[in-house]
Amino acid sequence: MSLAPVLILLFGIAIGIPVAMAIGMAALSFFLLSGAMPPEIFVQRMVAVTHSFPLLAVPLFVMTGVVMNYAGITTRMMGFAEAMTGHWKGGLAQVNVLLSTLMGGVSGSANADAAMQSKVLVPEMTRRGYDLAFSSAVTASSSIISVIIPPGIGLILYGFMGDVSIGRLFLAGIVPGVVICAAMMVAVAIRARQLNLQPAYDRPMPWAGRFRAFRGAFLALLVPVGIVLGIRLGYFTPTEAGAMAVLFAVIVGILHGDLRLGHIRPILEQTMQATAVILLVICAANAFGFYMTWERIPAQVAEAMLSLTSDPLLLLLIINLLLILAGMFIEGSAALILLTPILVPVVIKLGVDPVHFGIVMVFNLTIAGVTPPLGTLMFTTCMITGTPIGKFIRASLPFYIVLFGMLIVLTYVPQLSLWLPNLKFD
């Protein structure tokens, strides 16, 4: 009986049942068949998780991204990115990468970033002669940066499920996000020369024009800085930071004159739709987590993994391979919610900092979003741009090398993640 819910979960995912429903069915089977407790407890466990105050940060940061899109801030950020890199070979592809980094402090979601750039930037790249598969590959691959730069939704979910400081996770994501951005820009520059992609501008934009573009994006760029400093200096919690980010986005939109009363309804609708998807998975996973705790599955997994090796470096390699495999078949957020309570106790026992591991885990599971067979970023981008999956995969091969290379670097150079969180402000 103890493994029946796990088998039901795997079977449900294999036959294409939505992940949230598969998790819920698996959890319900335990309450119905075990006889250990009344089935009503299933509903109680589903609802109880929504009473969490830290979880309120998710819809607030989702709303921040939606508000900024309607406020025209995304366009201003794109203008700033193009002013800085438009004169390089493959300049629009470099804009794509840089915009993902800037948008990381706004949307916090790789899927949202990939969808936005697929609609806004890829058609312009196509119009200027870029190969559609290359443009789609750059868009999907660079959107991964959005989940590492604070306030990434994945970092919030990891912190909530693993009982890890979300403020420290936000700080930990800054340096890795910048390093990944630099690595992606180098990869794009190499591919641009190989494909002989032309720059957007014949010559560098004058510094006066760059300053105007920077001034237009300046207020939006203050959002992630304000969030991180506010949390680090103790002015507000991560949840309160979400509310402050929404307020700031609204004020910026009003000051720019782009946000109108007619935008209120679509902003609320899009926020609720995105939040509902995440929370449904979290609610089902909480009930499933009750089953795993009852059956001592996390403890048994920890004991089994620790019996394989006591070397933290080798264990991190094993866990990374496990996460890559899981991420290929389970959507990133769902895998994060399911696996965090199991893996965090394992790495803590071997002395691995859970903040460092959080960056590695979130990055690993998001990379799976651009890989076959079930990468959500791959499908989102290809569906919007009309790129065949086969061509997308071939165009993405150089970026797979970069992303997995950066995964190894982040795994075995923890100082990249821990330098800022451990920095003393006294």
The token pair at 145 is 């940066």
CB 296 within 8 A of CB 59: no
Burial call 165-182: b when 16+ CB within 10 Å, e when fewer: bbbbbbbbbbbbbebbbe
Q: Residue 117 has what pLDDT?
A: 78
How many contiguous H segments (helices) and E segments (strands) does the chain have?
23, 0
Residue 1 has pLDDT above 60, yes or no: no
Most confident of 33-47, 174-188, 328-342: 174-188
**Residues 303-318: pLDDT tens digits?**
777 788 878 889 899 8
For the CA atoms of 396, 399, 403, 406, the dihedral, rounded to the nearest 10 degrees, stands at 170
Report which residue type is found at 392: F
Q: What is the pTM of this model?
A: 0.78
Q: Please name the residue ranges forming H helices in 34-72.
A: 40-48, 57-70
Of the chain, the end-to-end C-alpha distance in Å amounts to 54
How open is the CA angle 156-351-178, to the nearest 5 degrees? 45
Q: Which residue, among 318, 292, 288, has the nearest Cα to 304 in the 3D structure?
A: 318
Report which residue type is found at 310: S
**Residues 378-409: pLDDT tens digits?**
887 888 888 888 899 999 999 999 999 999 99
Cβ neighbours around 347 below 10 Å, total: 23
Q: Give the distance from CA 262 to its chain's centroid.
A: 29
335 CB-side CA count, 13 A: 25
Residue 104 has pLDDT above 70, yes or no: no
Q: Residue 411 has what pLDDT?
A: 95
Q: Residue 426 has what pLDDT?
A: 46
Q: Give the integer Cα–Cα distance in Å for 41 and 28.
A: 10
For the CA atoms of 156, 162, 166, 168, the dihedral, rounded to the nearest 10 degrees, stands at -140
The token pair at 78 is 């794109």
